[in-house]
Chains A and B, each alone.
Chain A
């Protein structure tokens, strides 16, 4: 009798830690945060304001800029995937010095965003070495981090530079599963480099490419804060805000925690949609194979 009861309860006890951690440390704070986003700030602290915070967000040009920048990141995603893909292809095709490149390419991935940001702050400064080099070529100086039309691209560029090493490794792993005889056959048939990439390498690496797409997207949406904080602080003219940075700014600098909660909720929904899309994408590709 007693043994049967224990046996019946055992599974519940065993899953309890995981379920409790999810409930107590994930879902419950999430519910609190969403609930908190319907209350006011400052003098209205704790009083319900309905959708007030969301209305304010919709009217805040800064928040709209931050969402637009998320869109920009999605548009730049193919570039962020193509760069490590191409470089991995060159390494796979054994360009001269490919062993050196393999470690050189990976090196930035071990640096923290703060250090990378500090390095590029110096490099991209108005009187920094990049502009000096441009000047030597006779090209006028570019205000990399001070021009609102350029700053976001500069930061994304640095982010790609700092993180493509990881994707490169994933690509190289993908290449190790590539059937070399296919490439040899293409070469015998007289295919050019571009034709071999397009007709042999890309179709063989579909799953790897999709995986890199998903991880790069996650990286871009969740780990740009450090770079933004160090390199532009959201500026110039608020042009490099991302939702995360906006949330930090409203919570910590503007003393608007409830508004920040509302922005967090919006970001959560955005991430949920992106995440679900990615899952369905991965599932579909899984089924194809």
Chain B
């Protein structure tokens, strides 16, 4: 009798453990029935909520949500960013995890839309107030609401311009002028033209997007973003030629391939060792980040220098980060409401003021923050999605490695363009 009980216990234990380990599932089994009795709870995953600069933002968003849904608990789980998508991938594989989660716009969210809920019906009211939706959409559906805008303005150091006898109010308009100005700056101050960090392969992404509108014609640019990318076009080729040319002419700082974009290169710009940097609008590497060393009156933002006739410079930007709702959430309406609270004007104003992020809300007043910021915000209306965001993460990964080869001289522009075209076609 006793042995039988033993075996039963062993069997049950065995079955219980093995049952947990089944392989990939696309749909999750949801325990709807027990949920109703429990207090409702939403879990949010992100990498922002633990940052002191985001504390006000999260507080405001929580208050806004609590006012609309009293009695619902919201738990923010801040994950380390470098492990974020690994952890999220595991959650998606198992079909359970957070109800609401933060995403970077572009490839990171598009690769994972299978696990996300289309938000169009829930966020219709916010569509005109917020900018940057395209980065979170796929096949005509929107999967996340933008919190910040992310883009690649070209910042320049006005103090270095003054020292070189150049007019800081009139930055170069064409690529040739830029090269000339840089020569003058180099002569007068010893500073390099560009602060470039390409250790992670991110430098080429910034370069492509920051300078792209000065290289492609408006038609080519729009086609590129729309997915009709003509890799055989001489202008597309020109992007990579300029990348190589900048290196060969000594415009970049030394050791670009071993200098990390995050975060070794920003000090090079801040401390005046390079005159320009293709930076960011939100998170880091932006106007507020630089302000410790470069006060607002010494920091300028310029448009992409024109390298090809017919190109019209525009600010490259997209939705930077945005909150999405998981497919497996029990109450989609509730989760979507939390996303709306996280993108309310009050919350986003706090984010802009504390973290220096360019928020997605176009109704925020930024007139106090200096020339660089108003320069960026003015351009939002005419801005276009950044070129590199249109590429898949696989192609971006490849582009990072190939760009390093271009800098070191172990690959030619033709080889690089050919490989990228193949990767882009494969999707």
Residues of A within 8 A of B (CB): 5, 9, 13, 16, 20, 24, 28-29, 32, 35-36, 39, 42-43, 45-46, 62, 124-127, 141, 143-148, 232-233, 235-238, 248, 251-255, 257-258
Q: If the complex has contacts A235-B201, A254-B394, A255-B393, are A24 and B255 also in contact, measured as CB distance less than 8 A?
A: no
- A40's nearest neighbour on chain B, judged by CB, is B24
Residues of B within 8 A of A (CB): 3, 6, 10, 13-14, 17-18, 21-26, 83, 85-86, 89, 93, 111-112, 114, 199-201, 254-259, 264, 393-394, 397, 400-401, 404-405, 408, 410
Partner of A236, one of B6, B24, B111, B408: B408
Q: If the complex has contacts A148-B410, A255-B393, A257-B93, are A126 and B255 also in contact, measured as CB distance less than 8 A?
A: yes
Residues of B within 8 A of A233 (CB): 199-200
Q: If the complex has contacts A42-B111, A235-B401, A236-B199, are A251 and B22 also in contact, measured as CB distance less than 8 A?
A: no
Contact, CB under 8 Å: A46 / B26? yes
- Can you name 27 A-B pairs with beta carbons within 8 Å? A9-B3, A16-B10, A20-B10, A24-B17, A39-B23, A39-B24, A42-B111, A45-B114, A46-B23, A46-B24, A62-B401, A126-B254, A126-B259, A141-B254, A141-B255, A143-B255, A144-B258, A145-B199, A145-B258, A148-B408, A233-B200, A235-B400, A236-B257, A236-B408, A252-B83, A254-B393, A257-B24
Contact, CB under 8 Å: A28 / B21? yes
Beyond the given A24-B17, A39-B24, A125-B255, please list 17 additional residue pairs across the A-B interface where CB-CB is below 8 A: A5-B3, A9-B3, A13-B6, A24-B18, A46-B26, A126-B258, A143-B257, A146-B257, A146-B259, A147-B258, A148-B404, A148-B410, A235-B199, A235-B201, A237-B408, A253-B397, A257-B24
Partner of B26, one of A45, A62, A252: A45
Partner of A235, one of B26, B85, B404: B404
Residues of A within 8 A of B408 (CB): 146-148, 236-237
Residues of A within 8 A of B400 (CB): 235
Residues of B within 8 A of A144 (CB): 258
- A31's nearest neighbour on chain B, judged by CB, is B21
Residues of A within 8 A of B258 (CB): 124-126, 143-147, 236
Q: Report A114 CB to chain B, min CB distance, Å.
A: 11
Residues of A within 8 A of B14 (CB): 20, 24
Contact, CB under 8 Å: B89 / A251? yes
Partner of A32, one of B21, B86, B256, B394: B21
Contact, CB under 8 Å: A146 / B26? no
Partner of B200, one of A20, A235, A258: A235
Contact, CB under 8 Å: A253 / B3? no
**CA–CA, A82 and B71, complex, Å:** 66
Q: Report A215 CB to chain B, min CB distance, Å.
A: 29
- B264's nearest neighbour on chain A, judged by CB, is A125
- B87's nearest neighbour on chain A, judged by CB, is A252
Q: If the complex has contacts A125-B258, A236-B257, are A32 and B89 also in contact, measured as CB distance less than 8 A?
A: no
Partner of A255, one of B23, B85, B201, B410: B85
**CA–CA, A254 and B427, complex, Å:** 13
Q: If the complex has contacts A233-B200, A257-B24, A257-B93, are A28 and B18 also in contact, measured as CB distance less than 8 A?
A: yes
**CA–CA, A36 and B201, complex, Å:** 31
Contact, CB under 8 Å: B401 / A257? no
**CA–CA, A233 and B254, complex, Å:** 19
**CA–CA, A20 and B9, complex, Å:** 13
Q: Report B240 CB to chain A, min CB distance, Å.
A: 15
User: Taking each of B14, B93, B401, which has the highest tally of chain A beta carbons within 10 Å of its own beta carbon?
Assistant: B401
Contact, CB under 8 Å: A46 / B25? yes
**CA–CA, A148 and B402, complex, Å:** 12
